[in-house]
Amino acid sequence: MKLLVSNDDGIFALGIRALANSLAAAGHQVTVVCPDRERSATGHGLTLHKPIRAEQVESVFAAGIPAWACSGTPSDCVKLALGALLEEPPDMVLSGINHGANLGTDVLYSGTVSAAMEGVMEGIPSIAFSLSSFAVQEFQPAANFARALVAQLSASPLPEAMLLNVNVPAVSESEIAGIAITRQGLRRYFDQFEKRVDPRGKTYYWLAGEVLEEVNDTPFDSAEALKLKGTDFDLAWFQQIPTDVQAIRRNYVTITPLQSNLTCALSIASLQDRKFDF
């Protein structure tokens, strides 16, 4: 397969090196276009008011992998690759492996997820990969899973272009409990701004804080969810599906299908019942 690989941790990140090299070793035609420095938490930002530069780099990835370092955001990188750098569209866009989880509402801020979403918006199946720890430096188990998943999707493609948000627990392969198809959970942060003063006496603020895991914990029972599944959208069945936050805590690899359409379908009916006046 022809694979475009990007990330938000930058060209020298260990995660993208593990991902690109593993996929190339498996026989895929890999091209890397990613930021020239860390661009985490940039969301779906685009560079509109200054030029975007891309320089081809060597000796970072395995031999035979063309790679560009781009001055823009992760979304810029994928747009530039599809619109200018690649001679033909890739079969799949991959992003990661991110250093740290992208669970729940993290996906709204994540440059990793946004890079993959660019592929979906162009009709290309895409996957975002993340390792669920900032401290762990061992990306090979996640890269091995990525290689296996790409092989399976190559043999049996998805029915439509979609984004799979994959989070791999930061444990050894023998400790991974399994693979769970999940829904997006809720992950809130207690934001705290530290007020500081620079050497010139100017005040500045540093965003800190800590993550607050989801409070409402539905039962982790995929088998029960399958029993409830109906032909139409069934809210009871949907709510029984474990969230990505729940599953990763139990050392499952989580696969969450995401889409660019943010319409809250369940709220349309309730809004139609209201009377809004001009």
Q: Quick check: 65 pLDDT over 80?
A: yes
Q: Are 30 and 59 in contact (CB under 8 A)?
A: no
Nearest residue to 45 (alpha-carbon basis) of 17, 8, 91: 8
Longest dimension (CA), the chain: 65
Mean pLDDT of the chain: 88
pTM for the full predicted model: 0.88
Nearest residue to 242 (alpha-carbon basis) of 204, 158, 162, 186: 186
Q: Quick check: 224 pLDDT over 50?
A: no
- Mean pLDDT is lowest, of 148-152, 167-171, 229-233, for 229-233
Q: Are 9 and 115 in contact (CB under 8 A)?
A: no
Which phi and psi (to 5°) does residue 60 adopt?
Answer: -100, -40
Task: Confirm or deny that 270 is annotated as ligand binding.
Answer: no
- Mean pLDDT is lowest, of 68-72, 181-185, 264-268, for 264-268
pLDDT of amino acid 214: 55
Q: Which is higher by pLDDT, 197 or 226?
A: 197
Kindly report, residue by residue over 185-211, the tens digit of the pLDDT.
887 766 678 889 999 999 988 877 666
Kindly report, residue by residue over 245-259, the tens digit of the pLDDT.
999 999 999 999 999
pLDDT of amino acid 222: 45
Mention every residue, 6+ apart, whose C-beta is less than 8 A from residue 80: 33, 52, 54, 70, 72
Domain boundaries, the chain: 2-181+249-258
Three-state DSSP at 219 gives coil
Kindly report, residue by residue over 109-160, the tens digit of the pLDDT.
999 999 999 999 999 999 999 999 988 999 999 999 999 999 999 999 988 8
Task: Confirm or deny that 98 is annotated as ligand binding.
Answer: yes
- pLDDT classification of 233: cutoffs 50, 70, 90: low
| Torsion angle of the four alpha carbons 246, 251, 252, 254, in this order, in degrees rounded to the nearest 10 | 60
The tokens of 140 are what? 């090979």
pLDDT of amino acid 70: 97
The class of domain 2-181+249-258 in CATH terms is alpha beta
